[in-house]
């Protein structure tokens, strides 16, 4: 007979609930980290709802960068699909004409530079890549840093205060 003082055995539901809670917390930490690293509010800087006309492009680029980093699987899948589609188009006669015309384009060079800055060079051209290895490597670097506890405390405090702001 079972010991009446022993705690009840964990059920499958309990294990699933625990996994869901851990996944939720990881998502919350990822979102806070993205907000903290990408959109720090500086003293005197307008709140995101009060973006001035001259800062509108910067805010748009920050949001795009935030989306890329907060959704690495979707970003990688979209990037791989765009690369594959571009290569298929370049293999057509019309695509070859466009490829040649754009080969020395300053607009394309500037667009590539902007893309590299926004994506932090985390995305990979390999179509079979699901999660970019550089993204996982960046997470491991942060996780193994000596200041992780301080960073986590700051993230927790920023989340509790509902702010993006200062240290």
Residue 46: how many other CB atoms lie within 10 Å: 12
Q: Model-level pTM greater than 0.95?
A: no
Place of tokens 């805010």: 59
User: pLDDT digits over 109-159, tens only?
Assistant: 999 999 888 887 888 887 777 777 777 777 777 778 888 888 777 777 765
Q: Hey, what's the torsion of the CAs at 87, 90, 92, 96, to 10 degrees?
A: -160
pLDDT of residue 50: 60
> Could you tell me which of 38, 55, 27 has the C-alpha nearest to residue 120?
38
């Amino acid at each position: 007979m079972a010991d009446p003082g022993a705690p009840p055995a964990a059920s499958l539901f309990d294990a699933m609930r625990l996994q869901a809670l851990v996944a939720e917390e990881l998502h919350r930490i990822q979102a806070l980290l993205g907000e903290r690293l990408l959109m720090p509010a500086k003293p005197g800087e307008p709140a995101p709802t009060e973006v001035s006309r001259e800062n509108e492009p910067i805010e748009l680029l920050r949001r795009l960068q935030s989306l890329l980093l907060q959704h690495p699987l979707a970003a990688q899948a979209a990037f791989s699909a765009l690369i594959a589609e571009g290569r298929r188009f370049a293999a057509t006669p019309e695509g070859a004409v466009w490829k040649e015309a754009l080969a020395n384009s300053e607009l394309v060079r500037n667009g590539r530079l902007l893309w590299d800055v926004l994506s932090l060079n985390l995305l990979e051209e390999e179509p079979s890549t699901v999660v970019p290895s550089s993204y996982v490597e960046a997470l491991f670097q942060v996780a193994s840093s000596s200041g992780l506890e301080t960073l986590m405390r700051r993230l927790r405090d920023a989340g509790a205060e509902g702010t993006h702001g200062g240290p």
